[in-house]
Structure 1
Amino acid sequence: MKRIAHICVHVGNGGGGDYIRNLIKHLSHRYEFHIFSPDVENLTSFIVGKNVFLHKINTKRIDLCTFIRLTNILKKKKIDIVVSHGKGAGIYGRMTGLILRLPTFHYFHGFHYSHLSKMGKTLYLASEKILQYFTSLYCFISQSEAEKVGSIVKIKNHKIYVNPNGVDTAVFHPSENLTAEPRAIYLARNDAIKNLKDFARLAELSSMSHSNLMFDLVGLDPVELIDPPGSLREIINQAKRLGNFRVLPYSADPKAILAGGRYYVSTSKGEGLPLAVLQAMSMGLNCVLTDVSGHCDLIEHGRNGYLIKKSDYYLNEILDTINALENDASLRVFIGNEARSTVIKKFTHVTHFDAVAASYEDFC
């Protein structure tokens, strides 16, 4: 049995953690997985009876001791391929792979650096341009992400591999609740790129027009629920006072959350290929999303959802789009059916993980 190491920044709340759980679920019968992350305890109950081993390592900080420890574990466990996910993990994964002469795969899961300082951007881009020489394969979960990174980092074409995310359409099927109260849902962790503030502002704008639309922000951890960080606190608390806005913790059962909604709304500034959107589409929700990487790979505007270009008035455009859908039930049904059809045709979990396994075999 081939041994695959996955080095992650986190495996808790959000798409990254969900991706690792799905990977384990679908491929641990074929491969022995070693998962390295600062929060591997989030997987403890999930791996029972599976060929999975957890290693708690702080991949968010770069230091020599961690590098030596990681290298020794990979060598001792006779790892065949090193796969890294995210920034810090990407440095560890590719450098240990270089030392041990192992194939190295890297996932960005969204190429985000706009929030960094000028110096931070320079260092990050410079490091990626160097690390590409030690990267066997860049794994992208959307074509738009591959094109964006490829043009900036100047990755050679033979190292670019695009395998779109996928979901289990038998699990994420349409809910009867789509005819219930109008509710917009956003599943997202607290990350600057997710732009949670603007989602909260939607509730305020909606209340000013006396709309009956409700908003659910799902994904903050228990501490953040009590005391949201920084400027997000004021905006969220103000939205909650309006009575049309709820903040809910991360759920291991996104289907149950999405079943209570009619719309999926994302104000994100950039994505890889978000699982939450795929899940919402598979369940027939009407998706109204920012026109950014990842979203544009999924949505054909006006056919299976809506893409809203960022502008000073884009929040108003999101609400206008939802209000138009509220006034046209037959259009909502059409958009929902087309969204699910798109996922069934192009974005299933079987297709995705079969391709993942094939990529392993190519390098083992």
Structure 2
Amino acid sequence: MKILHICQFLGIGGLEKVLLTLCQEQIEHGNEVSLFVYDKDQRWVEKYMNAGVNVINNYQKCEGYDFRLLNKIKEVSLNYDIIHTHDLNPALYLAPLSFIPGAKLSFIHTTHGMEHLKTRPKTRLYEAVVGMCASKIVSVSTDFGNYYLKQPLTKNRKVRLINNGVEQTLLPERSPKKLYCEEFNLNPKLPLAAYVARVGPMKDQKRLIDIYNNSEHQLLIIGPSSDLSYYAACKRSSKKNIVLTGARNDIRNILGGLDYYISSSKHEGLPISVLEAGASNTPCLLSQIPGHEIFNIEKECVMLFKEDENPLDRYSDLLKKKNVLVKNFKDEITEKYSSKTMFKRYHSVYKELLAEKC
């Protein structure tokens, strides 16, 4: 099967990790996989190339809606059996190609996040267009899927739920905490946590900074900025026990050296960093939102804290339940959130689309 993935950026984030894992599984199963990326941030191109993905990045998008990019995507897409867009922007270029005479390209679209619906209300109209034009829509969470099912122009048969997956066999053994405490000038005798996410209001790092400033716990805030003024405010208000590391390429190693993982996010689809922490045998202390509650549906895998609660008040409970939580979450990841399970579910949707095109 010849598969073309299309995304706007290839920076350092959850989408890039999930997509790379999916590409690796697809290549391992004998598929020919390409990736078309067209905007400035392409920090992970080399990682994809090293994994055997044919990366097409010889066109850079202009400001606004770029009609030359529309023609470029049409030209590239005609050579593939499956076209798979990731997040909103590329889907808006495939949408007109799905009904233009001479093109009529069928495509699968995965929604990895929906923060834009709150920060940019006009994107609701764009999502409606995608819901109408995509041949299949894949949601990584029940909430995202329900959103599309409520769209008047989206047929129910289009929407599929496929959980993000993590590659477990490549995860390292637990890393020594001392190494990272030395790098960040922290105390290895005190509790060390990390939060991996783009730094911005939706992820609510500022709340954690205010809490950790008044504790002995130490916190690594890992990820690039999604809001420069917010990032600067976080940096200004952080004491010595809090380190904003920026983007890192060794996140899996860091996760293995923590006492616990924490997230204060206000909104998540299916957070890949939480899955990676769980796969690293690191207990998780997470905000009580639907994207985190999903992990506790069948058994308690993570510890949750409410919006008005100080998460560090739950730390002693986390330690008491640590072994049970870690085991439950590891089993849950193996059963539902492995890369191989993700691949099989996507492959099934691909075959369904090919059968409909015949």
Instruction: Classify the TM-score, shorter chain.
Output: 0.7 to 0.9
SS in 2 for 1:278: helix
| 1:290/1:309 contact within 8 Å kept | yes
2-side partners of 1:154 and 1:162: how far apart? 19
Q: How does 1:12-23 map to 2 (within 5 A)?
A: 12-23=11-22
Identity percentage over the alignment? Answer: 20
Change in CA separation of 1:46 and 1:176 when aligned onto 2, cut-off 3 Å: closer
Counterpart residue type for residue 322 of structure 1: Y
Q: How does 1:128-147 map to 2 (within 5 A)?
A: 128-147=127-146
| 1:300/1:306 contact within 8 Å kept | no
Counterpart residue type for residue 66 of structure 2: D
| 1:125/1:153 contact within 8 Å kept | no
Deviation of the 1:300 alpha carbon? 4.6
Match of 1:54 among 53, 56, 74: 56
Deviation of the 1:46 alpha carbon? 3.5
Change in CA separation of 1:177 and 1:324 when aligned onto 2, cut-off 3 Å: farther
* Deviation larger for 43-52 or 106-115: 43-52
Deviation of the 1:279 alpha carbon? 0.8
SS in 2 for 1:101: coil
- Structure 1 residues 108-165: Cα deviation after superposition (integer angstroms, max 9, x where no partner): 112223543xxx41x3222322332211111011223322443366733211111111
Q: Does structure 1 residue 336 correspond to structure 2 residue 321?
A: no
Change in CA separation of 1:54 and 1:8 when aligned onto 2, cut-off 3 Å: same
Match of 1:110 among 109, 113, 120: 113
| 1:7/1:93 contact within 8 Å kept | no
Deviation of the 1:280 alpha carbon? 0.6
Q: Does structure 1 residue 319 correspond to structure 2 residue 312?
A: yes
| 1:200/1:236 contact within 8 Å kept | no
TM-score, with normalisation over the residues of structure 2?
A: 0.84
Counterpart residue type for residue 133 of structure 1: M
Deviation of the 1:96 alpha carbon? 2.8
Counterpart residue type for residue 203 of structure 1: Y
- Structure 1 residues 248-292: Cα deviation after superposition (integer angstroms, max 9, x where no partner): 132223221101212111111211211111111112222121222
Change in CA separation of 1:350 and 1:289 when aligned onto 2, cut-off 3 Å: same
Change in CA separation of 1:357 and 1:18 when aligned onto 2, cut-off 3 Å: same
Q: Which residue of 2 aligns with 1:11?
A: 10
Q: Which residue of 2 aligns with 1:232?
A: 231
2-side partners of 1:301 and 1:109: how far apart? 23
Q: Which residue of 2 aligns with 1:262?
A: 259
Q: Which residue of 1 aligns with 2:208?
A: 199
Deviation of the 1:45 alpha carbon? 4.8
- Structure 1 residues 309-363: Cα deviation after superposition (integer angstroms, max 9, x where no partner): 33xx23x1x121124335x3xx222222222121122211111112222222222
| 2:261/2:285 contact within 8 Å kept | yes
Q: Which residue of 2 aligns with 1:271?
A: 268
- Structure 1 residues 212-250: Cα deviation after superposition (integer angstroms, max 9, x where no partner): 2110101127xx9xxx821431232221xx221011132
SS in 2 for 1:44: helix
Q: Which residue of 2 aligns with 1:297?
A: 294
Change in CA separation of 1:69 and 1:169 when aligned onto 2, cut-off 3 Å: closer
Deviation of the 1:84 alpha carbon? 1.4
TM-score, with normalisation over the residues of structure 1?
A: 0.83
Q: Which ranges in structure 1 are unaligned for 5 or more consecutive residues?
A: none
| 1:37/1:59 contact within 8 Å kept | no
Q: Which residue of 1 aligns with 2:82?
A: 81
Q: Which residue of 1 aligns with 2:171?
A: 172
Q: Does structure 1 residue 70 correspond to structure 2 residue 76?
A: no
Deviation of the 1:302 alpha carbon? 8.2
Q: Which ranges in structure 2 are unaligned for 5 or more consecutive residues?
A: 178-187
Q: Which residue of 1 aligns with 2:283?
A: 286
Change in CA separation of 1:3 and 1:298 when aligned onto 2, cut-off 3 Å: same
Change in CA separation of 1:60 and 1:147 when aligned onto 2, cut-off 3 Å: farther
Match of 1:214 among 202, 215, 218: 218
| 1:5/1:81 contact within 8 Å kept | yes
Counterpart residue type for residue 33 of structure 1: S
Q: Which residue of 2 aligns with 1:357?
A: 347
Q: Which residue of 2 aligns with 1:247?
A: 244
Change in CA separation of 1:43 and 1:233 when aligned onto 2, cut-off 3 Å: same
| 1:82/1:97 contact within 8 Å kept | no
Change in CA separation of 1:49 and 1:325 when aligned onto 2, cut-off 3 Å: closer
1-side partners of 2:90 and 2:131: how far apart? 14
Counterpart residue type for residue 259 of structure 2: R
Counterpart residue type for residue 235 of structure 1: C
